Amino acid sequence: MTDSPLPTLKTWSYLSTGARRRPSEYEVVSTGLHYHTLDQNRPWELDPNIPMAQWYKRYRNQSPLRHPDWDAFRDPDEMIYRTYNLVQDGQENYVYGLFDQFNERGHDQLLDLEWVRFLADAYTPSRYLFHALQLGSAYVHQMAPASTITNCATYATADHLRWVTHTAYRTRELANAFPGLGFAECERERWETDPRWQGFRELVEQALVAWDWAEAFTAFFLIVKPAVEEAVLNQLGELARAHGDTLLGLLTQAQTRDAERHRRWGVALVTMALEQPGNREVLTGWLGKWVPLAEAAVEEFCAGFPSDGRAAAQRAKHAMASFRGSLLLAASHLTQPNLDQ
């Protein structure tokens, strides 16, 4: 009598869900890549008492936001490195095509001087804000408990770096067209002292020391980014169009396409987290902590608009509240702003 041979496992069998199908390219190259989550007591397979291991155990493994299988998360867009580069190569071609075309048309020379002075105060310092978004998404990338979450945060980090680059490029163009107005010279001073930026500066500086991975995700992707996107991209972009600055309006619109993708996977991650009892209360508590800071930042930024600043702030806050409502986390202390005020 001989023992029957054991059935052999197919490549990527761990991805099997019971259905007889070949895993997608996204599943093959994105899932189950974090070896440092295999032993919860020994992240990175090193001495569990070294500072780095202690950090991961405290701020990732012991996060109050829990799920038995974070590796089950999937990006709704199924973005991978190959497709990210294809898509964003097209985006960059579009953006730099805008720069070239508007430069050839003498766009900057046609701008009103008062609007140009406003850009020096309210637009070109935004590269510091975008860099803070880059740092925040990079931290989520580093600390996330699943490679599919890390990948999403990685692409967001790259997008935020692109936003920094776009802003720096426009800053140099404006400096060339308007020497003596402080372009490419005074942005840091304005970021640190101009009242319109201090709410955002406080918001991102506090978010950057939210060490728990899930709170960092909540702070940046559910609160900080929507505030920046609604106020600095959408409302400032609309204001630019009203002042004949079509280039800035189109640029912020292009950046918003990235933000829409970030929101899709953020919503998907929250939806997955809400499958577990107790996570709704954790997330709602964090939202209650960060929302007031974000709304104050929007109000301070829009207050510096040359016209309709209060209405712009209300529109931005309404859009932010609508996004939070889409997360199914509405609570009594997270109220919708009154647009009639």
DSSP notation for 94-129 = HHHHHHHHHHHTTTGGGS-HHHHHHHHHHTTTHHHH
Residue 23's pLDDT is: 87
**pLDDT at residue 5 tops 80:** no
Least Cα distance to 169 among 247, 265, 272 occurs for 247
Dihedral over alpha carbons 167, 168, 171, 176 (to 10 degrees): -140
CATH class of the domain whose range is 74-326:
mainly alpha
Least Cα distance to 259 among 334, 117, 163, 126 occurs for 163
**Where does the pLDDT of residue 44 fall: very low under 50, low under 70, confident under 90, or very high at 90 and above?**
confident
Give this prediction's pTM: 0.91
Please give the Cα distance from 211 to 282 (Å, whole number). 15
Please give the Cα distance from 238 to 217 (Å, whole number). 28
Parse the chain into domains and list their residue ranges: 32-62, 74-326
Tokens of 306: 């040359």
For 221-266, the pLDDT digits (tens) are 999 999 999 999 999 999 999 999 999 999 999 999 999 999 999 9
**Where does the pLDDT of residue 340 fall: very low under 50, low under 70, confident under 90, or very high at 90 and above?**
very low
**Where does the pLDDT of residue 329 fall: very low under 50, low under 70, confident under 90, or very high at 90 and above?**
low
81: three-class secondary structure by DSSP: helix
Contact of 75 with 265, CB cutoff 8 Å: yes
**Where does the pLDDT of residue 22 fall: very low under 50, low under 70, confident under 90, or very high at 90 and above?**
confident
Tell me which residue has tokens 């960059």.
92
Q: Which of 28-32, 213-217, 231-235 has the lowest mean pLDDT?
A: 28-32
For 286-323, the pLDDT digits (tens) are 999 999 999 999 999 999 999 889 999 999 999 999 99
The helix-helix angle for 195-207 and 126-143 (nearest 10°) equals 10
* Longest Cα–Cα distance in the chain: 94
**Where does the pLDDT of residue 130 fall: very low under 50, low under 70, confident under 90, or very high at 90 and above?**
very high
Q: For the residues 67-87, what does the mean pLDDT come to?
A: 97
